[in-house]
Amino acid sequence: MTMGVHEIEDAKLIFNFGYNGADSHPIVQRRIVRAKQKGATIICADPRVTECARIADVHMQLKGGTNIALVNAMCNVVYNEGLVDQKFIDEKTVDYDAFVEVIKKYTPEYAETICHVPAETIRKAARMYAKAPSAMILYGMGVCQFGQAVDVVKALGSLALMTGNYGKPASGIGPVRGQNNVQGACDMGALPNNYPGYQNVTKPEIQEKFEKAWGVKLSNKVGVPLTHVPQRVLEEKDPKKQLHAYYIFGEDPVQSDPDAEEVREALEKLDFVVVQDIFMNKTAEFADVILPGTSWNEHDGVYSCCDRGFQRIRKVLEPPKGVKLDWEIICEISTAMGYKMKYKNTEEIWNELIDLCPNFAGATYAKLEKYGNIQWPCRSKDDSDKGTVVLHQGKFANPDGKGKFYTADWRPPQELENEEYPLSLSTVREVGHYSVRTMTGNCRTLRNLEDEPGWIQMNPADCEKLGIKHGDLVKVVNKRGWCITRCNATERVAKGATYMTYQWWIGCCNELTIGSNLDPVSNTPEYKYCNCRVEKLDDQAKAWEYVNTEYKSIRERMGIKMVGKEAV
C-alpha cells in the first residue's frame, strides 16, 4: 500500500474496488466505516453487495471479469469532461497520450455493454472520484485474481495519476494484502525474481552484493513461480525445466491452489516432497518427509502488515516437545548439505538481512521495540528515522521518478458460462476462518460459527429455477471436479453468478477453480472466474450422510482419534 491503514479514515473519498474488507480484514473495514462516519464519500465496485457496497454512496455492481472495462470507462469520463489534473500529468507523469488512445473507445455506454453497470452510474462515480479533494483507491483479490489483473492495477493507478491523487495524505492506491505476512514473504525475497528488499536477481551488481555477503556463487536466472509448479511437473518436456523436488514450507497447495486434482497429480509425480508445517493437512498426505515447525505464538520474529509496517511477533508459549523452530530446521538441512548456516536467534538473522536491504536498514529490533510499528522504507538506524507512511512523495519509484500511465483493452476471462455449465463461480472469503483453516478450524468458537461443508452464495432467482432452498445441500460441478456444499440464497449476489470460500474440505471449491489462466505478469490464477453447474440433490439425508462420513474420514486421515459419539 502506498499509504497507511490508519490514514484510511481520513480519506475524503474511498474508491473500493474488488475488495471486501469486512470479510478479509475486518479491522481495515473498520477504518472505511469510520471514514464514512467522518463524511467521506464511498464508491464501491464489486459484483456482490458487500458490507462496503451497502454503505457506499455509489455501488457499481459489475459483472465479474470486466474490471478493466469499468476502469477505462471512468478514465474516459474524467478525460472527456476535463476533470484531469493537467499540471500533475505534465510535471510528474509519462505515456499519457498512449493511455488516452486506449481509453477513448471506452465510453460509459460501451462499457455498460461489457460490465452491466449503467452508463450514468459510471459517469457519476467518475465525477465523484475526480472532483474529490483527495481520493484513495483500495483494491483486493477481486482485482488481482484474474488472468487480466496487473493491467487493471495499472489502469487504477492511471486513474489516480490523471487526477493527481498521489503523494498526499489519504490518497494513492492500496492493494490490501490478504494473508498476515504476504507482504513480509515478498519483502524477504521469497520470490523467484527478487532477493530480499525487492532487489532483482538479474542485476549483476545486486548478485555480486549477495554473493559477497553469502560467500557463494548465485544464479542470475529468474526462478519458477509457484503457480507454474503443476505445469513444470506434469507437462514440461524440456528436462532442464522439469521440477523433481518440492520443499513446501507453511503452505497447503492442495487446499489453497486452483484445480486441486492437478496439484495432487503433480505432488504424486514429484520425486521428493518435503512438507514443513504445524498441522497435518491435505498437502502433507503427499509428503515424503514431514518436518514439524513451531506455530505463531511459539516463536519470535517480525511480520510485515499490509501497509509495509514491520511489527514484532513474540514467543507467547513454549512449543510442544518434538518440534523445532522453522529457521533452525532449514539451517540444519543447509549445513548437512554443505552450506553452513547457524544463527543464535531471529535478531541475528534480522540484522544480517536489514544490512543487505537499504529500504529496511533502519528498522532494528531496538527501534521496533521502541516504536511498535515501522513502515518501510526506513533507511537510517538513527532513532529519528521512524519509517515512511506515504510512498511516492515528490517522485515515483520508477528510474525517471515519474508516474507511468498504462491501460489495456479488456480481455474476457478464459472459461465462460455455457449451456452445460451456465453459472460463473468465484472464490471469496469467510470472515471467521483463515486461509486453509488448519488454525481457525481447530478453534472451538470459530468452528461453531462456520463449519463444513460451507456455502455457495446464489441469487434466489437461480435457486428457484433449480428448485433449491436456502440451506439445501447441492452439488457444484464443472469439467475439472465437483463438491457438495450448502445453498446460501442471497440477493447480495447477481443472477448467474455464484461464490464459494476456499477453506472447506468437503465444500472444496478449488476442485473446480482453473489453474491454467494466469496473469502474464503476476502469475496469479483466475480464482475469480470459472464456470459451473449447480445440481439439486433429491435425497438430502443421503447427501448429509456423505458429508458427515467424508468429513470424518478426512479427519481420521489427519490423525484425529474419534471419541464419544463420533466413534460410533
Region of 2-10, 378-386, 415-423, 467-475 interacting with another protein (CB under 8 A): 2-10
Choice from 16, 72, 281, 424 touching another protein (CB under 8 A): 281
Binding residues for another protein restricted to 162-221, rule: CB under 8 A: 176-193, 195-196, 201, 210, 214, 216-219, 221
CA distances from 294 to 299, 324, 343 (A): 7, 6, 17
Region of 73-81, 103-111, 312-320, 465-473 interacting with another protein (CB under 8 A): 312-320
Smallest distance from another protein to CB 372, Å:
7
Sheet with strand 13-17: strands edge to edge: 58-60, 41-45, 13-17, 135-139, 172-175
Binding residues for another protein restricted to 337-396, rule: CB under 8 A: 337-339, 341, 343, 346, 349-350, 352-353, 372-373
How far is the C-alpha of 396 from the C-alpha of 92, rounded, in Å? 8
Region of 49-57, 90-98, 410-418, 465-473 interacting with another protein (CB under 8 A): 49-57
Identify which of residues 66 and 510 has a Cβ nearer to another protein in the complex: 510
Would you count residue 334 as binding another protein (CB under 8 A)?
Answer: yes
Smallest distance from another protein to CB 411, Å:
18
Identify which of residues 346 and 478 has a Cβ nearer to another protein in the complex: 346
Smallest distance from another protein to CB 190, Å:
3
Alpha helix stretches (DSSP H) within 3-84:
21-24, 26-37, 51-55, 67-80
How far is the C-alpha of 76 from the C-alpha of 164, rounded, in Å? 16
Binding residues for another protein restricted to 436-465, rule: CB under 8 A: 437-449
Would you count residue 97 as binding another protein (CB under 8 A)?
Answer: no
3-state secondary structure of 375: strand
Choice from 18, 25, 58, 530 touching another protein (CB under 8 A): 25
Smallest distance from another protein to CB 427, Å:
9
In sign, the C-alpha dihedral spanning 77, 80, 81, 82 is positive
How far is the C-alpha of 363 from the C-alpha of 43, rounded, in Å? 36
- Closest to 291 measured CA to CA, from 255, 256, 333, 257: 333
Alpha helix stretches (DSSP H) within 43-165:
51-55, 67-80, 86-92, 96-103, 108-115, 119-131, 141-144, 150-162
Smallest distance from another protein to CB 179, Å:
4
Length of the chain: 568
Size of the site for another protein (CB under 8 A): 175
Choice from 2, 16, 35, 36 touching another protein (CB under 8 A): 36
Would you count residue 39 as binding another protein (CB under 8 A)?
Answer: no
Do 59 and 53 contact (CB within 8 A), yes or no? yes
Q: Is omega for the bond preceding 453 within 30 degrees of 0, making it cis?
A: yes
Choice from 317, 366, 461, 521 touching another protein (CB under 8 A): 317
Alpha helix stretches (DSSP H) within 146-241:
150-162, 182-187, 204-214, 229-234
Binding residues for another protein restricted to 483-512, rule: CB under 8 A: 490-492, 502
Region of 88-96, 104-112, 116-124, 523-531 interacting with another protein (CB under 8 A): 523-531
CA distances from 7 to 12, 21, 30, 107, 373 (A): 11, 15, 12, 33, 15
Smallest distance from another protein to CB 431, Å:
5
Would you count residue 112 as binding another protein (CB under 8 A)?
Answer: no
How far is the C-alpha of 311 from the C-alpha of 376, rounded, in Å? 11
Would you count residue 537 as binding another protein (CB under 8 A)?
Answer: no
Region of 22-30, 75-83, 125-133, 151-159 interacting with another protein (CB under 8 A): 22-30
Would you count residue 234 as binding another protein (CB under 8 A)?
Answer: no
* All cell numbers assigned to 194: 527478487
Binding residues for another protein restricted to 131-150, rule: CB under 8 A: 144-145
Ordered DSSP codes for 102-126? HHTT--HHHHHHHH---HHHHHHHH
Give the x-and-dash track for 400-439 against another protein (CB under 8 A): -------------------------------xxxxx-xxx
Close Cβ partners of 366 (under 8 Å, ≥ 6 residues apart): none
